[in-house]
């Protein structure tokens, strides 16, 4: 049951910053974009565990920030157990802290729990945490598998949730 997220216009929130680290969660945002664009969530033999719709979104965001004159980097992970930001290990959180000190801001692409994970991880860094997505509900999805092991998500419904701001 991934959260259904929509992207926020972060340009006003990054105004005045010279550098931003993009921190993507690879679960809820990826599922949301795959569903929204009607594309596979996973194309195992083509993209392995990356979601093409989400990767395109991240690259477009990075281009927009660079067009604004902002130095960017992506806090990437290769290991599947590091994909879900709200469940990062202590080691992954320390690694984020080490990277974040190089930037004035951190843009978090994920649900509120991912934002809090990042905020807690970089508490001692002098950089702004910027929420890049917001919740529209929880998706009830029906996964389908097609050749050659592509996994798509069909939304059966979206349940509203109340979030504390």
Q: Which regions of the chain does DSSP assign to beta strands (E)? A: 3-7, 19-24, 42-43, 71-74, 105-109, 128-131, 133-146, 150-159
Determine the average pLDDT of the residues in 64-77: 93
Q: How far apart are CA 3 and CA 84, in angstroms?
A: 12
User: Is pLDDT above 80 for 83?
Assistant: no
What was the pLDDT predicted at 51? 78
Query: Which whole number is the average pLDDT over 117-142?
Result: 87
Supply the pLDDT for residue 81.
Answer: 54
Report how far residue 47's alpha carbon sits from residue 49's, in angstroms, rounded to the nearest whole number: 6
pTM: 0.85
pLDDT at 9: 94
- Residue 163: predicted pLDDT: 65
In the prediction, which pLDDT does 52 show? Answer: 80
Position 1 confidence tier, pLDDT thresholds 50, 70, 90: low
What is the pLDDT, as a whole number, of residue 165? 59
- As a whole number, mean pLDDT of residues 62-79 equals 90
Cα 19 to Cα 14, 15, 128, 147, 153: the distances in Å are: 9, 10, 11, 42, 35
β-pairing, 19-24 vs 105-109, is parallel
Enter the tokens of residue 40.
């596979």
């Amino acid at each position: 049951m991934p959260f259904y997220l929509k992207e926020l216009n972060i340009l006003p929130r990054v105004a005045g910053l010279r550098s931003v680290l993009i921190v993507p969660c690879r679960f809820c945002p990826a599922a949301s974009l795959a569903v929204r664009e009607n594309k596979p969530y996973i194309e195992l033999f083509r993209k392995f565990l990356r979601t093409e719709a989400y990767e395109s979104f991240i690259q477009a965001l990075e281009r927009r920030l660079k067009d604004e004159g902002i130095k960017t980097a992506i806090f990437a992970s290769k290991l599947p157990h590091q994909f879900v930001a709200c469940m990062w290990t202590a080691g992954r959180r320390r690694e984020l802290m080490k990277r974040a000190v190089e930037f004035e801001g951190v843009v978090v692409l994920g649900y509120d729990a991912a934002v809090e994970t990042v905020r807690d991880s970089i508490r001692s860094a002098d950089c702004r945490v910027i929420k890049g997505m917001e919740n529209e509900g929880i998706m009830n999805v029906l996964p389908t598998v097609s050749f050659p092991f592509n996994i798509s998500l069909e939304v059966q419904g979206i349940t509203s949730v109340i979030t504390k701001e």
